[in-house]
Structure 1
Amino acid sequence: MNMLEVIKANYSVVFEEKLLEEIASVAKLYEFQEGDILIDFGDYIKNMPLLLSGAIKILREDFDEGELLLYFIEKGDTCAMTMACCMGDTKSEIRAVAETNVSLIMLPVIKMEEWLGKYKSWRNFVFNSYNNRLKEMLNAIDHLAFMHMDERLLHYLSEKSKINKTKFILSTHQEIAYDLHTSRVVISRLLKALEHEGALKLHRASIELLK
């Protein structure tokens, strides 16, 4: 497929024909493998991503030089924090990591600003993206403030299961601990407790969700 066909296949119900043609004229297609870093802390972001397939996790650097998982973005999504950095010409405060193999297009920031005033569908898309990501960040704050670590762990595994469309989670205990900003020992202990409660089953190289 050419670029216009790719854009139409993914966004024809979101954007009007004229905007689809403009997107196709400036978009660049990129492929990333699971684990690749798409955007890192301190980067200047000159392009905005639109996700065609796969999933990306967005991490925030904390004051102790660790990282905290904020949210995942999936097909049809974009990252509100990336947009904010693009529009403000500021350094990135997030790290974007491919959760799965990813296909996406990049759009130059100058076009984002132009389309805000030109196309209602683009404005709606941007505002809805901000709204959805804000809700997810508020959920992340709620989980930190009000959930016990075992509840956060189970929620995290459920999200991973949904995104990867499988009940088997292939992440190591250390990788999970990294995303949840805790220690591997804590994660291993909680996984054992959740297995005892019948919520999951631990295998040699995976975690199987049972609920």
Structure 2
Amino acid sequence: MSKTTPKSLDLFADKFESGLLDQISLLGQIKRYKANQVLIDFGMHVQNIPLLLSGSIKVIREDQNGRELFLYFLGGGDTCAMSLTCCMNHKRSEIKAIVEEDAEVIMIPLPYMDEWMKYPSWRQYVFASYNERFEEMLQAVDSLAFMKLDERLMNYLLDCKQSSGDFSIIKTHQEIANDLNTSRVVISRLLKKLEQEDKIELHRNKIEIL
């Protein structure tokens, strides 16, 4: 870990008041993760609140049979509302957060989450994070209940693009199949269909959104 500096907080300068930025600079620690590293795992006691500076993180849930379901992506400036919930209730994590693209994260020790509620901008940030993640989880439920798989796949690709800010998505068909809880053969067929509809271009281990 390395110490947080005022420069590293530029992303949050328009979110938090100066007093809170000073506190984050004083108490936060920057940790760097490589792609595919696990930031938060199922059953983990969450001791720190993650504030994402750069990169992309995928959040998934696991059912009773061990099957994983993609919930949402986190990008720069985000935090994980599910980890906030675990922190507040002193519960073990019910989600897994996996680094999609190399990430820099500010780790805030758990006790300061409540203490910083005296800052209006922190309260607003926490509540806004809950609301955004809740909306994304509702979309995940809706897609399972009401969307056909090709629609879910296109939404997933658009989520990847929005999270990374890049129209090129570096993923194998099997990785996508795992996230959408289906088979690689089905995903390959649907991706080919989307390519025929001029929505994407397929390359080796890369998908470009048109």
Aligned-partner Cα distance in 1 for 2:20–2:208:
43
* 1:91-113 Cα deviation digits (max 9, x unpaired): 00000011111001000110101
Partner of 2:94: 93
Counterparts of 1:78-117 in structure 2 under 5 Å? 78-116=79-117
Give the match's secondary structure for 1:103. Answer: strand
C-alpha displacement of 1:209: 2.0
Give the match's secondary structure for 1:101. Answer: strand
The 8 Å contact of residues 67 and 178 in structure 1, kept in 2 or not, is answered as: yes
Aligned-partner Cα distance in 2 for 1:79–1:140:
16
Q: Structure 1 vs Structure 2: percent identity of aligned residues?
A: 49
Deviating more after overlay: 200-209 vs 177-186: 200-209
Aligned-partner Cα distance in 1 for 2:66–2:153:
21
Aligned-partner Cα distance in 1 for 2:48–2:14:
23
The 8 Å contact of residues 73 and 160 in structure 2, kept in 1 or not, is answered as: no
Alignment of 1:121 with 2:121, yes or no, is: yes
Give the match's secondary structure for 2:108. Answer: strand
C-alpha displacement of 1:7: 4.9
C-alpha displacement of 1:4: 3.7
Moved over 6 A (4+): none
The 8 Å contact of residues 173 and 188 in structure 1, kept in 2 or not, is answered as: yes
Structure 2 residue identity aligned to 1:145: A
User: How many pairs are equivalent?
Assistant: 209
* 1:89-146 Cα deviation digits (max 9, x unpaired): 1100000011111001000110101111x21111111111111111111111111111
Gaps of 5+ in 2: none
Alignment of 1:32 with 2:29, yes or no, is: no
The 8 Å contact of residues 53 and 104 in structure 2, kept in 1 or not, is answered as: yes
C-alpha displacement of 1:203: 2.0
* 1:134-163 Cα deviation digits (max 9, x unpaired): 111111111111110000011111221232
The 8 Å contact of residues 52 and 104 in structure 2, kept in 1 or not, is answered as: yes
Give the match's secondary structure for 1:166. Answer: coil
Could you tell me the TM-score, scaled by structure 1's length? 0.93
Deviating more after overlay: 28-37 vs 2-11: 2-11
| Compared CA separation, residues 198 and 129, structure 1 to 2 (3 A) | same
| Compared CA separation, residues 179 and 24, structure 1 to 2 (3 A) | same
* 1:45-101 Cα deviation digits (max 9, x unpaired): 011000111111100011221111101111111000000001111100000011111
Partner of 1:20: 21
Deviating more after overlay: 106-115 vs 192-201: 192-201
Gaps of 5+ in 1: none
Aligned-partner Cα distance in 2 for 1:2–1:175:
34
The 8 Å contact of residues 4 and 21 in structure 1, kept in 2 or not, is answered as: no
C-alpha displacement of 1:167: 2.5
The 8 Å contact of residues 7 and 20 in structure 1, kept in 2 or not, is answered as: no
> CA RMSD of the aligned region, Å?
1.6
Alignment of 1:139 with 2:134, yes or no, is: no
The 8 Å contact of residues 3 and 29 in structure 2, kept in 1 or not, is answered as: no
Aligned-partner Cα distance in 2 for 1:51–1:207:
25
C-alpha displacement of 1:8: 3.8
Give the match's secondary structure for 1:99. Answer: strand
